[in-house]
Amino acid sequence: MWDGRAAFPVVIFLIHIAWWTFLLTVALITFFSVLNRYGFTPIVFARWLRSLIGGSRKMAIPWWMT
């Protein structure tokens, strides 16, 4: 399903028509469609990715105070 966020890559492609912008547009539309399919917004996905990279162990005391 298309989303309003998928319109931005199309505008970029229409401003600068080239093969690499076409491929970038297709990749970004696919990315936003997959996010929409699973119920994520780009902000929520970025937070989820940050949490995934950060791991499950959270330090209670900052590392510079130990």
Total-model pTM = 0.72
Q: Which residue has the higher pLDDT, 1 or 41?
A: 41
Q: Which of 6-10, 21-25, 38-42, 56-60 is most confident?
A: 21-25
Residue position matching structure tokens 């229409």? 14
8: its two tokens: 């931005």
Domain residue spans in the chain?
A: 4-65
DSSP character at residue 39: T
Q: Is the pLDDT of residue 5 over 90?
A: no
pLDDT in tens, 14-55: 999 999 999 999 999 999 989 989 989 989 999 999 999 988
Q: What is the pLDDT of residue 2?
A: 65
Q: Is residue 15 helix, strand or coil?
A: helix
